[in-house]
Amino acid sequence: MAVRDSTKLFLFDVDGTLTASRKVITPEMEAFMSKLTGEVVVGLVGGSDLVKINEQMNGKALSMFTHVFSENGLVYHRNGEHVATKSIQEHVGDDNLQTFINYSLKYMSGLTLPCKRGTFVEFRKGMLNICPVGRNCSQAERDQFGEYDKEHQIREKFVADLRKQFPDNGLVYSIGGQISFDVFPEGWDKRYCLNHILGEGHTFSEVHFFGDKTFPGGNDHEIFEDSRTIGHTVTSPDDTMAQIKQILNL
């Protein structure tokens, strides 16, 4: 029986990499990840909170992956145990957050979209998630907005406006998935998770990162480009499996 190479970490984005956007992991991918844990150390890093990530991992995120970084690593679990949490509220301050949120809500009130539902600003521990269509939309409505956004660049224009309105607030913006974008302090992108695993006394000689939004402005770009990782751009969960099989000769 092969011995797991504990010096290699394979780190995965969630949406578009391990699952279709906001969908649950397929039995095939779940079985493949289970097999992969016998080969290398596995982890995942997502912008969503742990509840959403765990839903997508069929309730097994903390048991399937050694390292689980929710909210870009601002919330960190190792071997199923909570290790650390960082708060945007403490970092930015309530007054600044409220000013930003008020402006965002006013901006979205002026948008005319195919539909609008509920939860336009979701407050998370490490970030804000801004969603013009509303996170309570159905899958069909999510797909509809995704296509509309491709044509009209709703999120891209929104982010450009926020950068103009708040040039000195120390916040950065990351567009991911189909319907929303994340807002967080500079440096709190997915690279933040590397602080937990590549600090003093780390044992990883290689950290492979797999993500689909690796282009500039995508929420995988910074960690993909980081000199401490070996970045892999994937186009789907099937492509993720294919690339891993090729890398490890499985």
Q: 15, 149, 182, 220: which one is catalytic? A: 15
Annotation says 95 is catalytic: no
Write the DSSP symbol of residue 232. Answer: E
Give the C-alpha separation, 98 to 103, whole Å: 8
How crowded is residue 5: how many other Cβ atoms within 10 Å of its Cβ?
Answer: 13
Q: How does 63-96 read in b/e, with b if 16+ C-beta sit within 10 Å?
A: ebbbbbbbbbbbbbbbeeeeeeebebeeebeeee
Rounded CA-CA distance 161/25 in Å is 35
Question: Does residue 15 have an active-site annotation?
Answer: yes
Nearest to 117 by CA among 129, 105, 135, 102: 135
Q: Pinpoint the alpha helices (H) of the chain.
A: 27-36, 50-56, 61-64, 88-92, 94-109, 139-152, 154-165, 194-197, 221-225, 237-248
Per DSSP, the residues of 41-80 read: EEEEE-SS-HHHHHHHTTT-HHHH-SEEEEGGGTEEEETT
Q: Of residues 5, 13, 49, 239, which has the active-site annotation?
A: 13
Q: Which of 37, 59, 12, 23 has the alpha carbon at shortest distance from 234?
A: 12
- Residue type at position 232: H
Which residues are catalytic, by number?
13, 15
